[in-house]
């Protein structure tokens, strides 16, 4: 599954769907109009939410099976290196700018990774129960489900969308002290 994702990333790099849409529209309209009609990517597959979900699924697959087959960690690392190179190019140079909802997707990814840990604990419990002559290694592994539940509950209770009033006041007080310094940083190469 993981090595086949490299082929999918390569196909994403070619943007073949947009090319086919452009070629089809070019036969019935002018080139500028065809480009405008073909350019918005299908957000159901190429959108940030869908990509985030696929990235997380690949990370969970590598995480869950890393103990049973350590080679998958190398494949997963290569997968994310390839993904970083390809999507680093696509997001900056090839695709339309999208509104930034990174915080919501980041929290969703972390929540799904924690859900993947449940699969990992259950798989390891089953492996230990199957391979061990005694029952206690599997029960010990299964007991980590309790800790995982409490850590996920704590994570879900975090307030990440809005700052508490006290933190907002502290930030405002800090920024008023720093008014004498530079207001914002601009990278010279981008100006």
DSSP 187: -
CA-based nearest residue to 156, from 102, 108, 122: 108
Query: Taking all residues of the chain, what is their mean pLDDT, rounded to a whole number?
Result: 85
Q: Alpha-carbon distance 122 to 113, whole Å?
A: 14
- Reported as a single tens digit per residue, the pLDDT across 48-61 is 788 888 899 999 99
Mean per-residue pLDDT, 161-178: 71
> Who's near 76: CB < 8 A, 6+ residues apart?
2, 58, 59, 61, 62, 66
HEC string for 53-90: HHHHHHHHHHHHHCCCCCHHHHHHHHHHHHHHHHHHHH
152 or 168: which leads in pLDDT: 152
- Reported as a single tens digit per residue, the pLDDT across 99-132 is 766 688 888 899 999 999 999 999 999 999 999 9
* pLDDT of 180 above 70: no
DSSP H helical segments within the chain, as ranges? Answer: 2-14, 16-26, 31-38, 43-46, 48-65, 71-89, 102-131, 136-156, 165-177
> Does the pTM exceed 0.85?
no
- Reported as a single tens digit per residue, the pLDDT across 68-84 is 999 999 999 999 999 99
């Amino acid at each position: 599954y993981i090595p086949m994702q490299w082929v999918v990333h390569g196909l994403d790099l070619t943007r073949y769907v947009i090319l086919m849409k452009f070629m089809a529209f070019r036969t019935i309209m002018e080139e500028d109009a065809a480009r405008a009609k073909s350019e918005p990517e299908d957000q159901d597959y190429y959108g940030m939410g869908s990509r985030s979900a696929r990235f997380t699924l690949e990370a969970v697959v590598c995480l869950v099976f890393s103990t049973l087959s350590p080679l998958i960690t190398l494949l997963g690392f290569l997968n994310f290196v390839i993904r970083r190179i390809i999507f680093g190019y696509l997001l900056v140079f090839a695709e339309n700018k999208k509104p930034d909802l990174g915080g919501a997707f980041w929290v969703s990814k972390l929540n799904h990774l924690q859900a993947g840990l449940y699969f990992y604990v259950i798989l390891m419990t089953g492996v230990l129960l199957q391979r061990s002559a005694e029952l206690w290694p599997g029960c010990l592994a299964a007991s980590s489900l309790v800790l995982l539940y409490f850590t996920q509950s704590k994570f879900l209770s975090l307030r990440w969308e809005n700052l508490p009033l006290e933190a907002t006041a502290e930030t405002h007080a800090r920024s008023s002290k720093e008014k004498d310094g530079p207001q914002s940083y601009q990278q010279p190469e981008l100006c």
